[in-house]
């Protein structure tokens, strides 16, 4: 039997190239060897997005993004989290095995508390229970489908470890393997894709290169990448250059070597390096953009794909919830 790979993306904005290299591409690569279950984590997005139109558009945008990037819904079980009610029953089941202390230590919650403290506000200001219990819902997403591996960027590893802890706490209590304990799978070379300002590329920092923006916007954004004040003549170090780090993701080996040499020789300004970057990014993203535009223009078909995915997912989910009920004495 093949092992199971599962991952989700929360539809809190437009997909960017950090999502693509850190999550989507490695996840699609895994579909060759694993049975894959990939989904849109829409109830995770509800914690931050309260505008219904925005959330609905984001859900379709992320779904179309997966498909444009090459997800084959005939091979991968592809669905929306909100279409699987068993997720929420399992969340309640897992709550009873999750210590509050574990949630106190979750990075996202801690960061929000720290931000409030720095602003001299109440530590829990603006923090809803959805954010606080976020890792339990995520553990349910994962455990529900008997996942072996969860391909994610490095920032998500703590959540997968929590899912592992929670699954093990249940198994330990009932002295049998009620749930499978998952493993995070981080592709190290693309674990953190840098953004326009050099920090991790993230929707929350507003420093992203969106995956499906038009060519003009793409060029404009690339020209905005922050550089140092080295002159054209000066030799430059590719390994510390933002532009080069991004270039590496899109270029082939020969192109990488050639641009690294031009950096080291001097005589190439940042403007020229950015043009080189634009050309390889656009080469890879143009066909994706075209597919994305076609898919998003046909929402009924997109919704049907997700519905069919949910139909395949639900019996698997129901079996997991039943297993817990039986172990717990709630039949």
Instruction: Please report, as ranges, the residues that interact with ligand TRP according to CB under 6 A.
Output: 6-10, 41, 44, 138, 141-142, 150, 152, 156, 159
Among this protein's residues, is 2 annotated catalytic? no
**Least distance from C-beta 261 to ligand ADP, angstroms?**
27
- Report helix, strand or coil for 98: coil
Sign of the Cα pseudo-torsion (41, 151, 78, 285, in order): positive
- Residues forming beta bridges with residue 149, ordered by sequence position: 5, 183
Spatial distance between the Cα atoms of 261 and 222, rounded to a whole number of angstroms: 21
Q: What is the three-class DSSP state of 25?
A: helix
Q: How far is the CB of 6 from ligand ADP (least distance, A)?
A: 12
Q: Which does 44 bind (CB under 5 to 8 A by kind): ligand TRP, ligand ADP, none?
A: ligand TRP
Distances in whole angstroms, Cα of residue 168 to Cα of each of 3, 26, 164, 325: 19, 27, 6, 16
200 binds, among ligand TRP, ligand ADP, none (CB under 5 to 8 A by kind): ligand ADP
Q: Does 19 bind ligand ADP (CB under 6 A)?
A: yes
> Residue 209, interface with ligand ADP (CB under 6 A)?
no
Report the partner that residue 150 touches, choosing among ligand ADP, ligand TRP, none (CB closer than 5 to 8 A by kind): ligand TRP
Catalytic residue among 10, 25, 180, 200: 200
Active site residue 203: yes
Q: Which of 10, 25, 180, 203 is an active site residue?
A: 203
DSSP letters along 227-293, please?
Answer: -----SSS---GGG-HHHHHHHHHS-HHHHHHHHHHHHH----HHHHHHHHHHHHHHHHHHHHHHHH
Tell me which stretch binds ligand ADP (CB under 6 A): 16-24, 73-81, 210-218, 264-272.
Answer: 16-24
Count CB atoms within 10 A of the CB of residue 73: 18
Euclidean distance between CA atoms 21 and 111, whole angstroms: 25
The option from ligand ADP, ligand TRP, none interacting with 236 (CB < 5 to 8 A, set by class) reads none
23 sits near ligand ADP (criterion: CB under 6 A): yes
Nearest approach in angstroms of CB 263 to ligand ADP is 23
Binding mask 141-180 for ligand ADP (x = CB under 6 A): -----------xx-xx------------------------
Is 10 annotated as catalytic?
Answer: no
Closer CB to ligand ADP, residue 210 or residue 268? 210
Contact status, residue 62 vs residue 71, Cβ threshold 8 Å: no
**Number of residues near ligand ADP (by CB under 6 A):** 19
Q: Which residues have a Cβ under 8 Å from the Cβ of 167 and sit 6 or more positions away?
A: 139, 143, 178, 179, 180, 181, 182
Instruction: Identify which of 304, 289, 293 has the alpha carbon closest to the alpha carbon of residue 215.
Output: 289
Catalytic positions: 119, 200, 203
Binding site for ligand ADP (CB under 6 A): 9-10, 12, 18-19, 22-23, 152-153, 155-156, 190, 192-193, 200-204
């Amino acid at each position: 039997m093949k092992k199971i790979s599962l991952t989700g993306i929360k539809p809190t904005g437009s997909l960017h190239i950090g999502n693509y290299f850190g999550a989507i591409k490695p996840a699609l690569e895994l579909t060759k060897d694993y049975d894959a279950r990939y989904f849109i984590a829409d109830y995770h997005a509800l914690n931050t997005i309260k505008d219904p139109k925005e959330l609905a558009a984001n859900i379709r945008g992320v779904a179309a993004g997966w498909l444009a990037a090459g997800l084959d819904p005939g091979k991968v079980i592809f669905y929306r989290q909100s279409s699987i009610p068993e997720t929420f029953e399992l969340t309640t089941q897992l709550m009873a095995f999750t210590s509050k202390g574990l949630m106190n230590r979750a990075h996202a919650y801690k960061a929000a508390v720290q931000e409030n403290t720095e602003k001299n506000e109440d530590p829990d200001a603006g923090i809803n229970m959805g954010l606080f219990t976020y890792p339990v819902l995520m553990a349910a997403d994962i455990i529900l489908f008997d996942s072996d591996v969860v391909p994610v960027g490095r920032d998500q590893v703590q959540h997968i470890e929590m899912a592992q802890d929670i699954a093990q706490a249940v198994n330990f209590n009932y002295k049998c393997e009620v749930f499978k304990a998952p493993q995070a799978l981080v592709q190290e070379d693309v674990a953190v894709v840098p953004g326009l300002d050099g920090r991790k590329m993230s929707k929350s920092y507003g420093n992203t290169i969106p995956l499906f923006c038009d060519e003009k916007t793409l060029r404009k954004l690339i020209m905005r990448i922050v550089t140092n004040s080295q002159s054209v003549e000066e030799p430059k170090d590719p390994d510390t250059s933002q532009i080069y780090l991004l270039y590496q993701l899109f270029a082939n080996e020969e192109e990488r070597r050639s641009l690294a040499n031009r950096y080291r020789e001097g005589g190439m300004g940042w403007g020229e390096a950015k043009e080189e970057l634009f050309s390889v990014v656009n080469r890879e993203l143009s066909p994706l953009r075209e597919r994305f535009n076609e898919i998003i223009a046909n929402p009924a078909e997109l919704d049907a794909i997700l519905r069919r995915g949910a139909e395949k997912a639900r019996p698997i989910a129901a079996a997991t919830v039943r297993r817990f009920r039986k172990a717990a004495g709630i039949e």
